[in-house]
Chains A and B, each alone.
Chain A
Amino acid sequence: MTFLQPLLLYALPLALLPVIIHLLNRLRHRTQAWGAMRFLVAASRSSVNRARLKQFLILLLRTLAVLMLILFLARPLTGGWMGWAFASAPDTVLILLDRSASMDTRLAGTSLTRREQALQRIQQAAEPYQGVSNFVLIESAGATAQSLAQIDRIADHALASSTDTTTDMPSLLQRSVQWLSDNQAGTTEIWIASDLQRSNWYPSDDRWQSTMQQFEALPQTVRFRLLAVNEQTEVDTSLQLADVALLRKQGQERSLRITADFTQSSGTGENLNAIRTINGLSSSVEIPMQGSALRWQDLWSLGSGNEQGWGSLTLAADGNLNNNALYFVFGQDRPNQALVISDQAYDGSVLALASGQATASGWQASEIRRPGPSALSNLEEVSLIIWQGPLAQDQAASTLQSFASEGGVVLCFPPSKSQEQVTPFAGVRWVESEMASTDQSFAIGRWDQETGLLSDTAEGFRLTVDQLEVIQRRRIQHTGKVIAAFADGEPLLIQQIIGQGSIYFMTTLPHPNWSGLDQGTVLLPLIQRARLQGARRLEQTYFWTCGDVSQPELEAGWLPVEEGSEKSITEQAGVYRQGDRLAAVNIPSAEFLPELASGEEIQALFKNVSMQLFEETTTRGETDLQSEVWRVFLGCMLAFLLIESWLMISGPGSTAHLAASQGGLRPQTRSAA
């Protein structure tokens, strides 16, 4: 426990005042001549023990009352309701600050964001510990541990500022347990300030159990205080980039197709005014917002040039400024080719034809190579690799994964014959094939019509995926995302995102014995889109998530494209340049998921450790993490005084009883009989 007026604690010896007064009274006795001595002697023999006990209790209660009074005047502080009863200031206070983008949502009725309010409360709570405890800040963006010399200036600290990153709370806690272990701090309190966003806390993650066990195993006492800044916020509209595609028809201008998701915290029904910017040139656009969510697509003309560039779409200021903008970049047109690796003549030729491109001399099919050591050489101008056959292994698998991570696309088709047990590739393993019943085919159940390789066209036309006849398919073991599936739930097309690119797995072949893919109505747009997607590999442009940029890239020295901007690629979304390269950094998609974890869920995560959750908004003037318990001491003092008064006036022979009986004994007169 700490005190706001600690100097008053020097008055604690005054609690002995009743004892001293009692002793002085005993020493200061006067002499009284007394005639009824026989009664006094008899009384002393019979009652002294009980009376002494009563006297002792009265003295004790008076002492305790004085003690409570002094403690009450010293304004004691403790966490919650005696949660830290009589605990001294900790040796170390670790402050885990959630700096994710959602923490910069403004609270309803105030001008403060969640982060600012959290910092304010931390500052107030830390005040009594100033000069006593060591404060260390571990923030969510970089998980760096920074010792704070002046806790009262935490709000101004660079590591407490807003970011466009997301938070991985289990990881942050693991970082803190590591710090405690490395630094061998004494008694520690860990203050967590967060909005309890579920996508940050991962309540189902297995890491919680192991992390809590690590805390339990620490030699020092660790207590948690969780400040949940999850109050109601102002109306906020967020903007998330869903897809960007650079389109050019031969001989025509380039255009950029932007697909964006708008989400409003509470639907206002009003259209949104946005500013779109391309290469520094801005124009306004009205977004017809109906309801609280909208997927919006727009085609922006880039002219006939071939330069790389960047752009953004920005909304007007609202409850959260950070999620009001999306950023994108686009590169130059570069020749890109597709490469087919197949040992099946028919399948390979179909795939080569589908992956070809229009040239001046007509349609040119892609190159076909047979599987082998040199099949994956010279990939400088390749954007799409179509791999048909047994899963790539060893060097080939490594090459393909590198290809994908650079932004290329790998489209895998199954082998016509079953393979022996092999190492999975990209989390996928081909299993046995199966045939549909006679005169029937495997019906297509669903596919992603909004984004990806099978999405509807820009004009809104749907690909005829549901009309695709599949009479033979190969089952698959996978960990990827299902883009299309059969009616019975088996996947048709799977995507594994690898770095900047993707590896797709189609579970049927473009062969009459397998499916109608060779007819091209589905295969052609699928492959062409994959090729277009893979062209990113050849570009100098990148799409990254804020906070997820690799260390080598961070060290490359990326700067904001806007002159004079002080944005940091590690913490702020925007467009950055490094030499000829451009990178669009956007807020992680996890920050757009508004669900918050409940207090009960969070409590359940902190098993076997001492944790206090401060969730309610308190009245003005009170701190959350530290609450004054002076009321407890005042109540105790009054209780002690009441009991002492009762002891003084209770029972026959007490002062009040004597007063009521007009001097104790009534004179007994008897008339002469």
Chain B
Amino acid sequence: MDDPQATSRSLIDPAITARMAVQPLVARFPMEGTVSGMHRSPHRGSSVEFAEYRQYVPGDDLRRLDWRVLGRTDRYYLKEFEAETNLRCYFVIDCSGSMKFSSHEVTKLDYAIKLIAHLAYQVIGQGDAAGLVSVGPRIITEIPPKRSPSHLQLILDQLQQVKAKGETGLSDTLHELAEKAKRRALVLVFSDCFTDLEPLINSFQHLRFQKHDVGLFHILDPQEMSFDFDRPIRFADLESSFSMVTEPSMVREAYLEQFRQFQSGLQKGCHECNGDYRSVMTHQPAGQVLGDFLVDRAKALSIR
């Protein structure tokens, strides 16, 4: 009998985790965790990180009074310090039929699973909470974020079982998640986003309105972007029973234009709502994608 743990652990590539270990996954915005951690909190706390000066009012803790400022200015000011808390991370994976497409060995779904598995490993490994939401026409499974190592196993097991099927209900799911998640969290979406653009952007905006940090891994196959077919083909839709025969050379130009417009619209929409847009191709090395993601996040945080 297969050891489920062994199977799950096959999702994790030690080389990738080793590469990711040098840089933790951080949130770009202050998070609300349940315990102290390494992520900024919107509230003031007792960390060593100086935040700001505040004028003394009767009742404040005198231990926080800055005596040097008093000596120089004869005025009473208190030092405020950053509060640090842990990260709650939701991994949202699109399990619609279009994620089943592949022009080589790795489907978009497999690629998303790999990215999520390693990010979940990183999040839980750094003491933060990770959860999983798999989305088809509606939410298929939902695993709330937790910090324990056993929770990672649960997530990995669930990832092993997801199947791509049906249409996409991503926008509705994100709206639902925006309401469900009580505290600020990092929501990372792994999808090809082959859905109506406006509702999707709206869902991102909803998440941002709820003060969540939104990241989108826009997963695409190289052939979807090149459309390099050379003879008449019957294209069968992966999400429905629709099919059509067309001469690729006749429609290539227009197809690429449509795709380009969609992609730029999606990117612009993410940018406008301060989302983190990343376009990845399934033939790119996962380790490099994840490493770049972590580094970019850290850089963005240091700029702030």
Residues of chain A at the chain B interface (Cβ within 8 Å): 25-26, 28-44, 46-48, 51-52, 54-55, 651-655, 658, 663-665, 667-673
- Inter-chain contact A48/B250, CB cutoff 8 Å: yes
Of B264, B271, B280, which contacts A667 at CB under 8 A? B280
When A35-B99, A651-B253, A663-B226 are in contact, do A668 and B263 touch as well, CB less than 8 Å? Answer: yes
For the complex, what is the distance from the CA of A34 to the CA of B299, rounded to whole Å? 37
- CB within 8 Å of A: which B246-303 residues: 246-247, 249-260, 262-264, 267, 270-271, 274, 276-281, 284, 292-293, 296-297, 299-300
For residue B97, CB closer than 8 A to chain A, the reply is yes
B12 at the interface (CB under 8 A from A): no
A673 CA to B272 CA, complexed, in Å: 11
Q: Is B82 an interface position by the 8 A CB rule?
A: no
Q: Is the CB of A673 within 8 A of B262?
A: no
Does residue B237 face the partner (Cβ distance < 8 Å to A)?
A: yes
- How many chain B residues touch the partner (CB < 8 A)? 68
Contacts of A41 in B (CB 8 A): 244
**Shortest CB distance B159–A (Å):** 20
B contact residues around A55 at 8 Å (CB): 247, 249-250
Q: Which residues of chain A are within 8 angstroms of B50 by Cβ–Cβ distance?
A: none
Selected contact of A32 from candidates B236, B242, B267, CB within 8 Å: B236
Specify which chain B residues have a CB less than 8 angstroms from the CB of A43 in the assembled complex: 251-255, 257-258
**Closest Cβ of chain A: how far from B263's Cβ, in Å?**
6
B-chain residues with CB within 8 Å of residue A669 when the two chains form the complex:
277-280, 292
Measured CB to CB, the closest approach of chain B to A672, in angstroms, equals 4
Asked whether any CB of chain A lies closer than 8 Å to the CB of B35, the reply is no
B233 interface hit (Cβ, 8 Å): yes
Among A33, A54, A651, find the residue whose CB has the most chain B CB atoms closer than 10 A: A33
Partner of B192, one of A26, A28, A35, A658: A35
B194 & A38 in contact (Cβ 8 Å cutoff): yes
CB <8 Å contact, A653 and B233: no
Which of B108, B235, B284 has most chain A Cβ within 10 Å? B235
How far is A40 from B277 in the complex, measured between Cα atoms in Å?
Answer: 24
Proximity string of chain B (219-236) to chain A, C-beta cutoff 8 Å, 1 when within and 0 when not: 011101111111111111
Bitwise interface map of B from 176 to 218 toward A, beta carbon under 8 Å scored 1, else 0: 0000000000000000101000000000000000000001000
Determine the distance from Cα of A43 to Cα of B280 in the docked complex, in whole angstroms. 23
Q: Are B225 and A664 in contact (CB under 8 A)?
A: yes
Q: Is the CB of A42 within 8 A of B258?
A: yes
Cα–Cα distance between A248 and B293 once the two chains are bound (Å)? 136
A47 touches B226 (CB 8 A): no
Complex contact A39–B234 (CB within 8 A) = no
Beyond A39-B262, A665-B226, A672-B215, is A34–B252 a contact (Cβ under 8 Å)? Answer: no
Check B254–A658 contact: CB distance below 8 A. Answer: no
Residues of A within 8 A of B28 (CB): 672-673
A32 to B227 CA separation, bound complex (whole angstroms): 12
Q: Is the CB of A34 within 8 A of B300?
A: no
A28 CA to B230 CA in the complex, in Å?
A: 12
Partner of A48, one of B97, B251, B258: B251
CB pair A658 B226 closer than 8 Å = yes
Instruction: Give min CB distance, B74 to chain A, whole Å.
Output: 43
Are A51's CB and B247's CB within 8 A? yes
Q: Give complex CA distance A51, B252 in Å.
A: 9
Chain A residue at smallest Cβ distance from B264: A668
Chain B min CB distance to A527 (Å): 104
CA distance A658 to B256 in the complex (A): 10
B235 (CB) vs chain A CBs: closest residue: A34
Chain B, Cβ-Cβ closest to A648:
B249
The answer to whether B238 and A44 touch across the interface, beta carbons within 8 angstroms, is no
Give the 6 A-B residue pairs with the shortest CB-CB distance, closest first.
A653-B253, A35-B98, A51-B250, A47-B254, A43-B254, A663-B226
Check: B239 CB closer than 8 A to any chain A CB.
yes
* Bound-complex Cα distance A26 to B231 (A): 7
17 contacts between A and B (CB under 8 A): A26-B232, A29-B234, A30-B234, A32-B234, A35-B101, A36-B192, A37-B239, A39-B259, A40-B235, A44-B244, A46-B258, A54-B250, A658-B226, A664-B226, A667-B284, A668-B263, A671-B296
Complex Cα–Cα for A38 and B100 (A): 16
Known contacts A55-B250, A663-B228; is-contact A32 B280 (Cβ 8 Å): no
Interface string of B138-182 (1 = CB under 8 A from A): 000000000000000000000000000000000000000000000
Q: Which residues of A contact B98 (CB under 8 A)?
A: 35-37
Q: Which residues from B are CB-within-8-Å of A30?
A: 231, 233-234
